[in-house]
Amino acid sequence: MPSINGSAVKKVIVACDAGMGSSVMVASNLKSRLKQYGVEVDHIPVNQLPEEPGLVVLCHQGLAPRAQQTAPHAVVVPFAIFMGDPAFAALEKAIADGEPLES
C-alpha cells in the first residue's frame, strides 16, 4: 500500500473521468488551499496519471480502483462529494502537519 509523509507532498493530481467540470472545481479549490504549503495541484484524466514518485491522486471514490490500477505507485485519496468532503480537509491537515497519507 503506497504511503507518503504529508510534508513530502509536492504535487496533488485531481483525477477525473467524464470531464463535467466538478473535478476542475475541486482542483481550483485545492490549488488555493495548498498553495501556502508549496504544493502544486493539477487536473488530468484518471487514465493519464503519470509515473511520478511521491504522487498523491485525489479522485471520486468511484474512480479510485481505476486510479490505483493506472498509478499503483501513487497514494490515492478518494472522496464522496465534490464540495466540502472531509477528505479535502484531511489531505490539507496531513500536508500541514507532516502526517502520513496512505491509499
Task: Select which of 16, 56, 58, 71 is catalytic.
Answer: 16
Nearest to 99 by CA among 37, 2, 1, 7: 7
Q: How many other β-carbons are positioned within 10 Å of the β-carbon of residue 51?
A: 10
Whether 59 is catalytic = no
pTM score of the predicted model = 0.92
**98 lies in some domain:** no
> What CATH number has the domain bearing residue 47?
3.40.50.2300
Task: Give the three-class secondary structure for 13.
Answer: strand
Question: 49 - beta bridge partners?
Answer: none
Instruction: Give, for all 103 residues of the chain, the pLDDT tens digit.
Output: 799 999 999 999 999 986 668 888 999 999 999 999 999 999 999 999 998 888 999 999 999 999 999 999 999 999 999 889 999 999 999 999 999 999 8
Number of domains the chain is built from: 1
Query: Hey, what's the cell of 30?
Result: 485545492
